[in-house]
Chains A and B, each alone.
Chain A
Amino acid sequence: MRQALVHMGKKTTSLLFFLVFVPLLIPAQQNRYADSLIGLLKTKQADTVRAKLLNDLVWEVVYNNPSQAEGYGMEELSLSQKAHWEKGIFDSYTALGSISYLKSNLGAALDYHKKALEVSQRSHYLKGLMIANSNIGVVYKDLGNHLLETQYCLASLKTAETLRDSARMSAIYSNLGLAYQAQKSYEEAITYNRKALSIREKRHDTRGIAACYINIASALTDQTKFNEALDFQLKALALAAPLKDNYLLAKCYSNLGLTYKDLNKYEEALNSLKAGLMINEALGSKASQAALEINIGELYQKMGKNPEALSHFEKALKVAKEIGHKKWQMEAYAGLSNVYEKLNDPAKAHASYYQFAELRDSMANESYNKDIANMRVLYDTEKKESEITSLKQGEEIKSLQLLEQQTVLQERKFLLAASAVVIIALILAGYFYFSRQKINALQKQQEAVRQAEESERVRMAKDIHDDLGSGLSKIKFMTELVSSKSDNSPEIKTGIQSISETSTFLVENMRDLIWALNPENTKLENMIARIREYSTDYLGDFPIQLTINISESIPDMELSKEAHRNIFFIVKEVLQNIVKHALATQVNLSISLRDNQLKLMLTDNGKGYSTDLISPGEGLNNIRQRAGAIKGTVEMTSVKTGGTCVCLLVTFKAIEKA
């Protein structure tokens, strides 16, 4: 009997550990206050806005008052349905599912999360797909169905990777860690938790980090590495304390207490467990309360304080009966039986043991039925005919079990397991095939939308340009008209001139804009031709002589749009500076293409403008920025003759189209 008790004590421990992941479902807006939300709700708002507020409110109160949260969730759902707002409906189902999960109502949680999954599938809401799959996985974990858990987990991971959602990826890593723990692969469990941890540390997700610590501690406890586990429990508590999350805090204290108990530090264990108990009482988490009472009872028993132990076991029994929790009732009876034995009350000890045994047998039956029920859920979900056969086989085998010898029984069990594995593998393969196809189709659709958007953007830019362009030309022509009338004063003429210049400048800028939006590709050779042409035309208006040296052979290379734009901009800017500030009579443009590098030099024979005339805030800075954008460098040096040389150096690799 004592053996049984120790064994069950351990089970208590692991069950307490499990409830940690749900906090990860919390949306980002945690620091809003429930009261201000309620205040906002009282004002007149559209249904969708009210639904959104209610959702925020759910997550604000869920850990401290799940029942109130449920009320908000229901209201949110009906508002969203009324408004035919899919996103709202999804959020409501997810909220309700999470609340049910927190209230240990796993059946309802599964229903809600599956409804959420349906909504996200029919509205092609990728993020929702990811969230719902992950949540269903969590519920299946608690239902003890690790295969379905893995299936949904991996489906969610796929979407999370598509969306590059690091928060969700960390949650799934964490879940996979627990799945491995359940399979007693502790090293892997810890590895996955550490993966989750590193993502959360980058995101400064304190709650998530605490959850990782708790899970790592749990894996360590299962390996009986209690001292290392204790370190993590203490770290988790330190993080949880300032968060005002009673749910998490209760978990931390309870776990810490259990670890102290494992280390036989009775006083510390008692303090922590009682702290956990107090918070759970305030939260109304009856199941946790019962579990803690049992653990406290066991502690007192170990300390030889049997009367105290008795009262805690009795309390545990009372609470467990209130909520109909058979397992805790059974454990409480086991504890009571032990204590009565110590207190020399064999009649009561026997009566308690009898109750314990009854519950144990009925639970064993239930557990079998639950397995059957879980398989039926599998059948319902996946609509696979073959599952029925496997169920029937299971029943057949059960009746045979009574007749057959032990060895035959083992063989059959093996066969059942093998066929179940094959069937489930088939279902998994089917599921992944279809979900991948669905995701592929979604991606294609998104790509088409993106392309349509791009061409629409180009079209709009062109339209705007045409309209504005002709308007600006009009301004320009009209100013020409006014200035040609000779009766204007010089000031007016200057003013008109600057209007004309500004409109020209604006049209130039718009040309750059169109260029940036134009998806057409440019070859290196074409860009060089354009630079040459532009320099000749631009300097042709001024008394400046241009000489040109350009490499004879130009590599056949496509340029990235950015490179084309930035290099051309630099040439324009430098030429403008020469004309405005240098007072030059000669300019040399030289482009050399050697050693996989483009070297563009503009040299003038002017009076030098690099240091005196251009403040860093002006053109020079712009030139540097543009060069930096294509990983190039710009050098500006004074030439002996007094002029300036601007030299741009950039590697082919940096400008070639990827």
Chain B
Amino acid sequence: MQIKVGIIEDEREIAQSLKLLINGSEGFSCTDTFESAKEAIEKIPRLYLDVVLTDIHLPDKTGIECIVELKPLCPDTQFLMCTSFEDTESVFKALKAGATGYMTKTTQPSKLLDAITEVYKGGSPMSSHIARKVVASFQGVQENNELQKLSQREQEILLLLSKGLRYKEIADHLSVSTETIRTHIRNIYQKLQVNSRTDALNKIFKK
């Protein structure tokens, strides 16, 4: 089974070379590229893609706004945010919007494929900086809301991530498999997203 990849990128050369790279690798296919947020929002919901690479700077909207609109329409598609450098602020916003991974554009081609695979499986490695932001964003969550609360294990994992440990190290440390860690991370991403939605809803109702 191949991972179906879409690309939202306004620079045609980059989009083409990414497409070429993905199609040339075993286990991946890329049929569609989108040059603007408008085009992406129109077409992506009908395509049932597995992973969408999203550029942050688009001519009509930001990649983050694009994900906010697309994620509810296609919950099974994973969005991978592409930034030109590790801008934690934008990355965190993208994660809250529904992205489950991020990469910098200088990532080597082989790493890019790794990142796509990771996101497809659960969520790409979280940096210590992002982990800290995630922990902070859960601090305001109400105690009685079990759905939106982080579990003991998830909190443990986030703490280790924020100390700079990687998935494999955490797996060794907690004597579980890396797959288990990935599942936890995916759950964390989902809670984060739900949280930011309720957050937004609360804000609307308060008005």
Contact = CB atoms under 8 A, between A and B. Distances in A.
A511 B87 CA distance: 10
Contacts of B85: 465, 469, 507, 510-511, 514
Given A466-B57, A528-B164, A532-B164, A504 B106 contact: yes
B195 to A, nearest CB: 23
A598 to B, nearest CB: 16
Nearest to A532: B164
Interface string B101-128: 0000110010000000000000000011
A644 B129 CA distance: 31
Contacts of A476: 105-106
B20 A470 contact: no
Interface stretch (B11-19, B37-45, B175-183): B11-19
Contact residues on B (Cβ < 8 Å of other chain), bracket: 20 to 34
Nearest to B127: A533
Interface string B1-41: 00000000001011011101100100000000000000000
Contact of A477 (B17, B128, B132, B164): B17
A480 B109 contact: yes
B128 A526 contact: yes
Contacts of B24: 484
A481 B165 CA distance: 34
B163 interface: yes
Contact of A470 (B11, B128, B164): B11
| A interface SS class | helix
A528 B84 CA distance: 24
Interface in B153-207: 162-166, 169
A480 B21 contact: yes
Contacts of B11: 470, 474
Given A514-B85, A526-B132, A477 B106 contact: no
B57 A526 contact: no
B105 A469 contact: yes
B86 interface: yes
A536 interface: yes
Given A529-B163, A531-B164, A474 B14 contact: yes
Nearest to A483: B109
A466 B13 CA distance: 17
A480 B162 contact: no
A411 interface: no
A530 interface: yes
Contacts of A504: 106
A418 interface: no
A421 interface: no
Interface string A442-476: 00000000000000000000000110011011101
A532 B14 CA distance: 32
Nearest to A507: B106
A528 B163 CA distance: 8
A238 interface: no
A514 B86 CA distance: 11
A417 interface: no
A503 B105 CA distance: 11
Contacts of B21: 480-481, 484
A534 to B, nearest CB: 8
A163 interface: no
Nearest to A540: B166
A470 B109 CA distance: 16
Contacts of A540: 166
Contacts of A511: 85-86
Interface string A493-508: 0000000000110011
Contacts of A492: none
Interface string A135-164: 000000000000000000000000000000
A478 interface: yes
A480 B24 CA distance: 12
Interface of B: 11, 13-14, 16-18, 20-21, 24, 57, 84-86, 105-106, 109, 127-129, 132, 162-166, 169
Given A525-B163, A529-B129, A533-B164, 12 more contacts: A466-B57, A469-B85, A469-B105, A470-B11, A474-B13, A480-B17, A481-B20, A481-B21, A529-B163, A533-B165, A536-B165, A540-B166
29 contacts: A465-B85, A466-B57, A469-B84, A470-B57, A472-B106, A473-B14, A473-B105, A474-B11, A477-B13, A477-B18, A480-B17, A480-B21, A480-B109, A481-B20, A481-B21, A507-B84, A511-B85, A525-B163, A528-B164, A529-B128, A529-B162, A529-B164, A530-B128, A530-B129, A532-B128, A532-B163, A532-B165, A533-B128, A536-B165
